[in-house]
Amino acid sequence: MSERLLSELTTLRVGGPAEVVDLSTEADIIAAALEVWGSGDDWMVLGGGSNVVVSDDGFEGTVLRTVSRGIEVLPPAVRTSSIPLVAHRETARVDREVSPAESTVRIRVQAGHPWDDLVAETVERGWSGLEALSGIPGSTGASPVQNIGAYGQELAATLHAVDFLDYLTGEVVRLPASQLGLGYRTSTIKQGRQGIVTAVEFTLGAHEGTALSHPLGYAQLAQALGAKLGDRVPIGVLRDAVLELRRSKGMVLSADDPDSVSAGSFFTNPVVSERFARTMPADAPRWPTGERQPDVVAPLGVELPAPAPGERDYRVKLSAAWLIEHAGISRGFRLTGSRAAISSKHSLAIVNTGGASATEILELARYVRALVQVEFGVLLQPEPVLVGSTI
């Protein structure tokens, strides 16, 4: 354990000092976590440092930094419930029946394994399911916490289970994806279930010939590929297209790209009621989050039928980037004298232009959020985890 500046360990390059311990194996993660939990000291988990904003004061506690690596191919088996793992190396358990006839492969990945290294490996081996998530920074263990997603694909589509060191019990349990409450950029872990993901399992497509992607579900990606929504393309071709799109937005970490010094998208796309969405300007992008209920036509004086189950819950996703731009925040914008700026390539990213403090990053975030709220009545929510501060 040693004191380090968290600005050295985060992609946004902000954050004060903290006691950091690097954990290179599952056994290390478990032993260190149990020791810290037993002491009663504050603690936090850090992977790739890509989705976090740490205050300039740092963190008064222990930072458990997962740097474990490894990908293991698992045999198909049957498992129907989540129970404690007597030994955390038990890896043959699954949460539903997986038949070899389904042409799938099940893999178990260490929590500290860099996410894009995993995606590159699966594409190289011809395993489909993660290719649209190429270029996302961070560690594999953080991916289910956030339920990462991009270009029409979410982790939930391929996530099978996680091994989770539970803070309340001190035991490693195996949680199937169905128990993680996965939603848009959220999970039960992000919402407050305390503990540490030690490993992640995926069920991916396995192909004898050319490995094809999942059906394309994002118009911009389909256009870049010269394809149509619903088409399937070779996963290597799709990965290259996704990486190119992300680079054009400054969303691939690169020492040659100052716009990549960020925490990725700083705000999530807001999800609002259909009624509220109808008050937005006609050109505001929006996407339904479920099946829309048909309009009901009835004569005057006739009582309308009761709404179908879930009809009242119909929600619509808006574009945070569009809201920011149309609230008057242009790409490259910065507050006077600040070293934090809106990315010159993507209005959803706040970048550190060099030597910015966490205070400057958050001041800009608050300014952006205030303008959007005044202009459209929408309160944007931060996507990164904020440590030691709020907006």
- Using the predicted structure, report yes or no on whether residue 364 has a pLDDT greater than 70: yes
Instruction: Quote the pLDDT of residue 279.
Output: 95
pLDDT category, 17, cuts 50, 70, 90? very high
Mean pLDDT for the stretch of residues 109-118? 98
Q: Please, which pLDDT band fits residue 203 given cuts at 50, 70 and 90?
A: very high
DSSP secondary-structure letter at 155?
Answer: G
Domain 262-293+312-387 falls in which CATH fold? 3.90.78
Position 297 scores a pLDDT of: 67
Tell me the fold of 2-66. Answer: 3.30.43
pLDDT at 128 over 90: yes
Active site residues: 185, 265, 383
CA distances from 189 to 103, 146, 183, 195, 200 (A): 31, 9, 11, 8, 14
Instruction: Report whether pLDDT(79) > 80.
Output: no
Question: Is residue 132 pLDDT above 90, yes or no?
Answer: yes
Percent of the chain past pLDDT 90, that is, above it, reads: 84
DSSP H stretches of helix in 127-229: 143-146, 219-225
What's residue 314's pLDDT?
77
Residue 96: band (very low, low, confident or very high) from pLDDT cuts 50, 70, 90: very low
Q: How confident is the model at residue 311 (pLDDT cuts 50, 70, 90)?
A: low
pLDDT, tens digit, 9 for 90 and up, residues 234-278: 999 999 999 999 999 999 999 999 999 999 999 999 999 999 999
pLDDT-wise least confident of 32-41, 73-82, 127-136, 165-174: 73-82
Give the pLDDT score at 87.
Answer: 32
Concatenated DSSP letters for 266-291? SBPPPEEEHHHHTTS-TTS-EEESSP
Least confident segment among 86-95, 203-212, 288-297 = 86-95
Determine the pLDDT at residue 179. Answer: 97
> Which pLDDT score is estimated for 90?
30
Mean residue pLDDT across the chain: 90
Classify domain 71-248 by CATH number: 3.30.465.10
Other CB atoms within 10 A of residue 232 CB: 14
The predicted pLDDT at position 244 comes to 98
How far does CA 273 lie from the centroid of its chain?
23
In this prediction, residues 33-48 reach a mean pLDDT of: 97
Distance CA 367, CA 385 (A): 18
Taking 50 as the threshold, does the pLDDT of residue 111 lie above it?
A: yes
- How does residue 207 score in pLDDT terms, banded at 50, 70 and 90? confident
The secondary structure element, H or E, covering residue 320 is: helix 320-326
- How far is the CA of 4 from the CAs of 7, 21, 33, 196, 314, in angstroms? 9, 10, 19, 21, 47
Give the pLDDT score at 97.
36
> What count of other Cβ atoms lies within 10 Å of the Cβ of residue 305?
8
User: Closest by alpha carbon to 14, among 251, 350, 357?
Assistant: 357
Q: What is the mean pLDDT of residues 335-362?
A: 98
- Name the CA dihedral angle for 105, 96, 119, 271, rounded to a multiple of 10 degrees: 150
- How far apart are the C-alpha atoms of 371 and 328, rounded to whole Å? 8
* The pLDDT of residue 88 is above 80: no
Strand partners, 289: none
Question: Which residues make beta-bridge pairs with 265?
Answer: 349
Query: Which pLDDT score is estimated for 208?
Result: 79
pLDDT at 304: 60
Q: Which of 221-225, 235-239, 271-275, 367-371 comes out lowest in average pLDDT?
A: 271-275
State how far the Cα of 198 lies from the Cα of 69, in Å rounded to an integer. Answer: 11
Work out the pLDDT band at 298, boundaries 50, 70, 90. Answer: low
pLDDT band for position 383 (50/70/90)? very high
Q: What is the pairing mode between strands 195-206 and 127-128?
A: antiparallel
pLDDT at position 1 is: 84
* Residue 291, pLDDT score: 59
The answer to whether the beta carbons of residues 109 and 45 sit under 8 Å apart is no
Q: Where are the domains of the chain?
A: 2-66, 71-248, 262-293+312-387
Angle between helices 115-125 and 235-248 (to 10 degrees): 150
What per-residue confidence (pLDDT) applies to 325? 98
